[in-house]
Structure 1
Amino acid sequence: MKLVNTHKLLLFLLLQVVSMVALAQPKWSLQQCLDTALILNKQLRMAKNNVAQREQLLKEAKAQLLPKLSLNADYRYYMDLPTQLLPLNIFNPQVPAGEFKEAQFGVPHTINANLQLQLPLYSPQAYGAIKQAGLFTELADLQVLKSEEQLLYEITGLYYNAQILQHQLLFLDSNLLNSSKLIQNITLLKEQLLATGTDLRKVYLQNTQLQTQRELIQAKLFQVLEYLKLSIGIPEDISFRVDPIQEPVPAPAYDVQIPLDVQIIQQEKKLLEMELNTLHRSGKLPSVNFQAFYGSTGFGYHQQPSPFLKFYPLGYAGIQFSYPIFNGTITKRKITKKQLEISNNQLQEQFLTDKMQAELKNTNRQKQVLQKAIMTSREQLDLAKAIYDQTLLQHKQGLANLTDILLADNAVRDAQQQLLTSWIDLLKADLELKKITSNLN
């Protein structure tokens, strides 16, 4: 009798401690986890920074069309002036051609200072780069949405797992309580010589197995919650628990939208077509720039008898015209390569569309099967509980043995696990359907 009371006291204290710890931890709803993750998740913040980088690249591309103004200056001191060869017949026509005289021109000191202005009037490469940068920015926006979708999908899956594990602990606590009562009954029967020590050891073995299973589930729940905190982006020292799981109800049909994967492929196709168009235009259209130059050149001489430093202005303005004639078939090879990339892009888009249709059909069919499985599992659990209670009553009346009780108890646990498995499978199927139809956000 003393052993039974001690066991009951320990179980009661364990359940009380678990309840106190659970009450000390705040509950986080799934929506709270998702909203917090959209703000704190580091990978998502990195993806948003990539959008900001793309926006800067777009501004950089547009800046290529702005005027470029530069100030240049240099000073040179010639220790040896440049030497030129002058034909002697310039000075004496009677000297035969082919005879030259060395001559050094210039002064030791030369100073140059000028302003240069360049303004692109038309550049197919620059205009193509601007449009490509704009498409890259739109692509980065889609990739952020894809990152958000993937994040919501992962967090929702982790949240469902945590709910299932949390519910498994409730089942195990209930099973441990039943096991404790069974230990009490078998102990009383043993004292009355109506049960053997082997029977009592069997019940203790079952109780130990349940406790071990509970410890494993508790450790797994802790691990899932840690992954969940990491995905959300909250510190590890924050403790929280998830809401109790509710039996899944049939969800309404989701509107089928274009998946983000397909949208990204379509945006990449636009980008490839723009790059191809830029290659065609750069090979057929000229580049035109406006140029202006104004400066001053100074010459200095520091030796006697006439040292001097004089400056002379220089300025011009004009148009620079550049037309590609032949660049070694480089542009042609780039065009062919880009056409192959577009062909692969179209094939990938078609593959993703076909895959989405197949997954949509299979997931809808799976949901229907799982909804029926949940009804069957619930009926089986109710029946298993009724059989267990009836077996306990028969055992008290001497109409059932311990093996019958243990078998009935195992049937209850199997039915509990089957019901939880059906729940999590249905939740995951619904989550997968939301992802396929782009209804996660």
Structure 2
Amino acid sequence: MLVNTHKLIFGLIVLFGWNVARAQEVWTLKQCIDTAQVHNKTLRINRNNISISEQRKKEAQANLIPKVTANTDYKYFMELPTQLMPMNALNPQAPEGQFRDLQFGVPHNINANVQLAMPLYNPQIYGAIQSTQIAKELTELHFQKSAEQVLFDITTLYYNAQIILHHLAFLDSNIANTGKLLKNMELLKDQLLAKGSDVSKVKLQAEQLNTQRQNVNYKLIQVLNALKLNMGISFEQNISVVSEIQQKVSLESNTRNILDLKIIQKQNQLLHSDLKTLNQSRFLPSLNLIASYGTTGFGYDKTPNDFLKFYPIGFAGLQLTYPLFNGTVTQRKINQKKLEISNNELQAQLIGDKNKMETENALRQRTIAQQTVINTENQITLAQSIYEQTILQQKQGTAILTDVLLADNALREAQQNYLSAVIDYLKADLELKKLAGTIKN
């Protein structure tokens, strides 16, 4: 477990002279995550993608519903169709093999009908239904992946903001110490016990600390704006974060539960479903129920024999389609799917190996960082004690300004090392949670 931050830091944070902090609302990490679950635009896009995949599944299922179409057409023949009729059909005495050209029909033709088509069995339709179901599950996994990434980003930004707050607290402590030192040096100068250059050195250090604080404060604003962006809230809203860092040790789980591996496995199912559909479409026929009912009209517009007559027409039947040869197109698609499945299986192995390596590295880094946090916290206490003793010795005349500045630099270096160790710990612990698939907890 992360060692508690030095008590001095917390006292300074409580008295933090950050003017706008009073007007800001302090958000917990859980509040930031809960807000992002609702307002983050990336998550909203992925929710829409889930709805799209659901509609695609229903679209595939809708292919099993009968399709009804209404058709009509009108044709005017400027030249009627010509047929050849054997001459012995009307005159048995006529020699065989002789024909007479005749024009049949009337110039005006009208057709209108309603057609019904219903698939009774179609391997491509059933394969598409299965594939869209798997694709929907894959989209849901991608949503979980994006939600995990948003949670990771928000947590990282939140930790960064907390670290910056601690950095500002350290700077405020150093600025206060430098202010006291400056007063002492000015008093000693008035008593002719210190040189003007000594006062100038302390003033320079005070100005450098104030400049550094301004830069760090600007960095905090940038991090908070990035946090607002990921949360999906307005940039005008003033927020702050809880200053105290509380971190529990991660509980590692089976690495096979990580979302990356689940996504690869679901993609593998989708590829096998597509391959199955292709194989079935090669050897299995399609059977459809078809029916039609309508009317056919014939019209003649030459007086006195003009007329327009309609005759009903209707039929129902079955249509069987069996693929014989399509130019090896399907076989080429099958070969492609087999190669894609091979790549998918290799990628699954690669992800497993990479996750194992990164987990071991993160565990080692977190252990080292945890011990470093303890060591640097003790170093801060020791450096603070040395600084206070050096200030006292300087007042007593047994230490010079250089000793004070060296002690001050040592204190600031210990503070920076502590913050770096905390950052390394939090980064390693968060990465470990992400690798183990427990970050959402």
Greater shift, 262-271 or 19-28, is seen at: 19-28
Q: CA deviation at 1:192?
A: 0.8
Change (3 A) 1:50 1:157: same
Instruction: Give the distance between the partners of 1:202 and 1:342, measured in 2 at CA.
Output: 70
Q: CA deviation at 1:103?
A: 3.0
Secondary structure of the corresponding residue to residue 131 of structure 2: helix
Contact between 1:169 and 1:218, CA under 8 Å: does it hold in 2?
Answer: yes
Aligned partner of 1:401 in structure 2 is: 400
Unaligned runs of 5+ residues in structure 1 are 1-14
Instruction: Give the distance between the partners of 1:97 and 1:203, measured in 2 at CA.
Output: 129
Instruction: Give the distance between the partners of 1:235 and 1:386, measured in 2 at CA.
Output: 45
Aligned partner of 1:435 in structure 2 is: 434
1:255 is the counterpart of 2:253: yes
Aligned partner of 2:10 in structure 1 is: none
Q: CA deviation at 1:348?
A: 0.5
Instruction: Give the distance between the partners of 2:16 and 2:261, measured in 1 at CA.
Output: 51
Unaligned runs of 5+ residues in structure 2 are 1-13
Aligned partner of 1:110 in structure 2 is: 109
Aligned partner of 1:343 in structure 2 is: 342
Instruction: Give the distance between the partners of 1:18 and 1:71, measured in 2 at CA.
Output: 79
Instruction: Give the distance between the partners of 2:304 and 2:100, measured in 1 at CA.
Output: 26
1:218 is the counterpart of 2:217: yes
1:325 is the counterpart of 2:324: yes
Q: Spell out the pairing of 1:155-234 with structure 2 (5 A cutoff).
A: 155-234=154-233
Output the amino acid matched with 2:50: V
Q: CA deviation at 1:303?
A: 2.0
Q: CA deviation at 1:90?
A: 4.3
Q: Spell out the pairing of 1:11-410 with structure 2 (5 A cutoff).
A: 18-88=17-87, 90-92=89-91, 101-246=100-245, 249-257=247-255, 258-410=257-409
Contact between 1:381 and 1:416, CA under 8 Å: does it hold in 2?
Answer: yes
Secondary structure of the corresponding residue to residue 27 of structure 1: strand
Instruction: Give the distance between the partners of 1:380 and 1:180, measured in 2 at CA.
Output: 23
Contact between 1:164 and 1:245, CA under 8 Å: does it hold in 2?
Answer: no
TM-score (norm 1): 0.93
Greater shift, 359-368 or 114-123, is seen at: 359-368
Instruction: Give the distance between the partners of 1:253 and 1:142, measured in 2 at CA.
Output: 22
Output the amino acid matched with 2:251: A
Contact between 1:76 and 1:110, CA under 8 Å: does it hold in 2?
Answer: yes
Instruction: Give the distance between the partners of 1:250 and 1:121, measured in 2 at CA.
Output: 59
Greater shift, 77-86 or 310-319, is seen at: 77-86
Change (3 A) 1:249 1:30: closer
Q: What does the per-residue CA deviation read over 1:12-34, in whole Å, with 9 as the maximum and x for residues that have no partner?
A: xxx99944411110001111110
Contact between 2:28 and 2:241, CA under 8 Å: does it hold in 1?
Answer: yes
Q: CA deviation at 1:97?
A: 6.7
Secondary structure of the corresponding residue to residue 320 of structure 2: strand
Q: CA deviation at 1:186?
A: 0.5
Instruction: Give the distance between the partners of 2:343 and 2:16, measured in 1 at CA.
Output: 61
Q: What does the per-residue CA deviation read over 1:411-434, in whole Å, with 9 as the maximum and x for residues that have no partner?
A: 111111111111111111111111
Output the amino acid matched with 1:286: P
Output the amino acid matched with 1:79: M
Instruction: Give the distance between the partners of 2:417 and 2:210, measured in 1 at CA.
Output: 20
Q: What does the per-residue CA deviation read over 1:215-252, in whole Å, with 9 as the maximum and x for residues that have no partner?
A: 11011111111111111100111111111032x55515
Q: What does the per-residue CA deviation read over 1:279-324, in whole Å, with 9 as the maximum and x for residues that have no partner?
A: 1111111111111111111112222122222111111111111111
Contact between 1:139 and 1:268, CA under 8 Å: does it hold in 2?
Answer: yes
Secondary structure of the corresponding residue to residue 393 of structure 2: helix
Q: CA deviation at 1:256?
A: 3.0
TM-score (norm 2): 0.93
Q: What does the per-residue CA deviation read over 1:101-140, in whole Å, with 9 as the maximum and x for residues that have no partner?
A: 4433222222211111111111000000000000000000
Secondary structure of the corresponding residue to residue 234 of structure 1: coil
Secondary structure of the corresponding residue to residue 192 of structure 2: coil
Secondary structure of the corresponding residue to residue 168 of structure 2: helix
Secondary structure of the corresponding residue to residue 317 of structure 1: strand
Q: Percent identity between the aligned chains?
A: 52
Q: CA deviation at 1:253?
A: 2.5
Q: CA deviation at 1:86?
A: 4.1
Contact between 1:151 and 1:231, CA under 8 Å: does it hold in 2?
Answer: yes
Output the amino acid matched with 2:155: T
Instruction: Give the distance between the partners of 1:380 and 1:173, measured in 2 at CA.
Output: 19
Aligned length: 426
Instruction: Give the distance between the partners of 1:249 and 1:101, measured in 2 at CA.
Output: 101
Contact between 1:123 and 1:287, CA under 8 Å: does it hold in 2?
Answer: yes
Q: CA deviation at 1:77?
A: 2.8
Contact between 2:365 and 2:424, CA under 8 Å: does it hold in 1?
Answer: no
Instruction: Give the distance between the partners of 1:78 and 1:239, measured in 2 at CA.
Output: 80
Q: CA deviation at 1:75?
A: 2.3
Secondary structure of the corresponding residue to residue 235 of structure 1: coil
RMSD across aligned positions (CA): 1.8
Contact between 1:367 and 1:429, CA under 8 Å: does it hold in 2?
Answer: yes
Secondary structure of the corresponding residue to residue 251 of structure 1: coil
Instruction: Give the distance between the partners of 1:331 and 1:252, measured in 2 at CA.
Output: 50
Instruction: Give the distance between the partners of 1:176 and 1:96, measured in 2 at CA.
Output: 126
